[in-house]
Structure 1
Amino acid sequence: MHLIDSNEKIYVAGHRGMVGQTIWQHLDDAGYENLVGRTSDELDLRDPHATREFFEEEQPDVAVLAAARVGGILANDRYPADFIGDNLAIQQSVIEAAHETGVDRLIFLGSTCIYPKHAPQPMSEDSLLTGPLEPTNQWYAVAKIAGHKLCEAMHRQHGDDMLTLMPTNLYGPGDDFDLETSHVLPALLRKAHEAKSRKPSGRNSSDAPVTLWGSGEPKREFLYVDDLADAVRFILETPEEELRDVAPDGMFNVGVGEDLSINALMALIQDVVGHDGPVEHDRSKPDGTPRKLVDTSRLDTLGWQADTGLREGVEKTYEWFKQRVTSNVER
């Protein structure tokens, strides 16, 4: 049985990104002080030799693989080779180095975009590889499937304690608000904020319009990044036998158990931001997967659930955006 203690060295790969830095903070707050990380300038995780040297030098007991090339529909469509190539390289380097240097436990972070475009809802872990992927993010999805399968193979062949968490759509402080690369929730927050800032002259005029891609009808589930960090800590602190009893393949969906349409999300964001302008739809742009709601019964069985409501999370994210991003965005 393996149960992490506060003295073990934990390597958080990608500790400067939204997910990685939140995981780092949660672990630090929980008393895990022996944390180690490297920036992408200090260590290129696509380089297997440099990655192996880092693992041999630091000898981490635990590795959390939160490093990845990420982005929304536009970025996936524009840079398909980067999305599949960089992620495959990062995963291979870190997972192989963890195996070769005897890391006690590795947690690999994937994404629910791994599931088929028309998977039964809610999507269970068993629906993996049962149908075609959503074309707009297939490059990223294929890489994440490969990462999970490598972890599963390492466990099957070598007995390595390697686990995969598949979070649904993430958002929160530290998110990417660049409209060229961002996901839907931060993109809509920024659009609503900027539309409100461009309010036409006249006391009774409404705010400038916000444009949504596609019909706005697809449904999405959103997980506040702090809840994912809490799930990572929960998994780290749970003995392997308990985890494997529930998930022999080592994979766990992480979500909130409910979704809403993009149109409904836009209405919530308008309310939080105070935007009263019209919402327009650019139907020349893709909708993506019709629905992405995950089955969280595996984690439910173990006793973990997310506890941040969507409105609360959006409000916290918007406050962070106004404090940290607005001054740069509006120059």
Structure 2
Amino acid sequence: MLQNSKVYIAGHRGMVGSAIHRKLISEGYGNIVTRKSEELDLREQTAVRQFFNSEKPEYVFLAAAKVGGILANNTYRGEYLYDNLMIQNNVIHSAYENNVKKLLFLGSSCIYPKLAPQPLKEEFLLTGELEPTNEPYAIAKIAGIKLCDAYRFQYGCDFISVMPTNLYGHNDNYDLKKSHVLPALIRKFHEAKEQNVPSVVIWGTGTPLREFLHADDLADACYHLMQTYSGSGFVNIGVGEDISIKDLALLVKGVVGYTGGIEHDLSKPDGTPRKLMDVSRLHSLGWKHRITLEEGIRSVYNEVKDRL
């Protein structure tokens, strides 16, 4: 991938896509193609085919997806399965039809079985039942991995897949009905501080363990793999360390400067007990994260606190 290569970022306005966009610009890439969802509906096959026929991108980062937390995943099950299948099928197939040199597909750690051994190794895929609350999204992402592998096998396409752990960063979603746990906690503690609320309620027991990666680190890893890696299957992208939801809440509480208490709503689900990535393969490929969790949380909070 050269600095004058034509690169298409699908989903450039999202947290992941915008991080990849910033990374490419910082590396001197000037021939970047983007389209807003209002301009190009990736669920529409004809529109996607016309776009690829016209633009002829050489490289594709497939970061477009319908995403959300436990509540959104469990509520909009049909939308999450249909929309994500259509988006990735259309982009991957059009990339094949137009001889794209390389495509990187972004999935999610929710593809792993609910009770898979920890840490999660790439070979644990499809070895057990999925977590019910995000099963539709996970099935779509698994299908995307398998589609990339099938096109590699049948057509010789250099399509690779990466599976990031839980993400946060610039352009995150702070809507409490659709956000993931970290931005939701940031907003809850910020609002409680601003409104002098005596305590903040968090979902479940607080015992589940989660791993968090800053989106800028993910973008750096994707850029590295796009330059250096070509293989079937997928590569985990994470930090290799996790934290309980309770300890995460305490960390966010400290960063925000909230002095009240924390309560647990035990009527709400915990989700998967633990999701820790095995990142030994990623490390062997020459990449490791740089941004610590506390550093990253402080950065995003300072950025968004005046807009929450």
TM-score (norm 2): 0.99
Measure the CA separation in 2 of the matches of 1:306 and 1:229: 11
The residue correspondences of 1:178-327 to structure 2 (distance < 5 A) are 178-199=175-196, 207-238=197-228, 240=230, 244=231, 249-323=232-306, 325-326=307-308
Residue 150 in 1 paired to residue 147 in 2? yes
Q: Structure 1 vs Structure 2: percent identity of aligned residues?
A: 55
Counterpart contact for 1:162–1:250, Cα < 8 Å: no
In the TM superposition, residue 276 of structure 1 has moved relative to its aligned partner by 1.2
Measure the CA separation in 1 of the matches of 2:3 and 2:281: 26
Measure the CA separation in 2 of the matches of 1:144 and 1:137: 11
The residue correspondences of 1:31-42 to structure 2 (distance < 5 A) are 31-42=28-39
- Which portions of structure 1, spanning 4 or more consecutive aligned residues, are displaced by more than 4 angstroms? none
Report the counterpart of residue 171 of structure 2 in structure 1.
174
Counterpart contact for 1:198–1:208, Cα < 8 Å: no
Residue 13 in 1 paired to residue 15 in 2? no
Write the deviation string for residues 300-328 of structure 1: whole angstroms up to 9, x where unpaired.
Answer: 101100110000000011011114x22xx
SS at match of 2:228: coil
In the TM superposition, residue 71 of structure 1 has moved relative to its aligned partner by 0.4
Alignment: residue pair count: 308
Counterpart contact for 1:224–1:313, Cα < 8 Å: yes
In the TM superposition, residue 7 of structure 1 has moved relative to its aligned partner by 1.1
Q: List gaps (5 residues or longer) in structure 2.
A: none
Write the deviation string for residues 193-236 of structure 1: whole angstroms up to 9, x where unpaired.
Answer: 0001111xxxxxxx521111110000000000000000111012
SS at match of 1:23: helix
Report the counterpart of residue 67 of structure 2 in structure 1.
70
Letter of the 2:198 counterpart? A
Measure the CA separation in 1 of the matches of 2:303 and 2:145: 32
In the TM superposition, residue 250 of structure 1 has moved relative to its aligned partner by 3.7
Counterpart contact for 1:105–1:162, Cα < 8 Å: yes
TM-score (norm 1): 0.92
SS at match of 1:299: helix
Write the deviation string for residues 8-53 of structure 1: whole angstroms up to 9, x where unpaired.
Answer: 1000000011111110010011011110000000000001111011
Write the deviation string for residues 81-115 of structure 1: whole angstroms up to 9, x where unpaired.
Answer: 00000000001000000000000000000000000
Write the deviation string for residues 48-89 of structure 1: whole angstroms up to 9, x where unpaired.
Answer: 111011001000000000000000011111110000000000
Report the RMSD for the aligned CA atoms in angstroms. 0.8
Q: List gaps (5 residues or longer) in structure 1.
A: 200-206, 327-331
Measure the CA separation in 2 of the matches of 1:111 and 1:77: 16
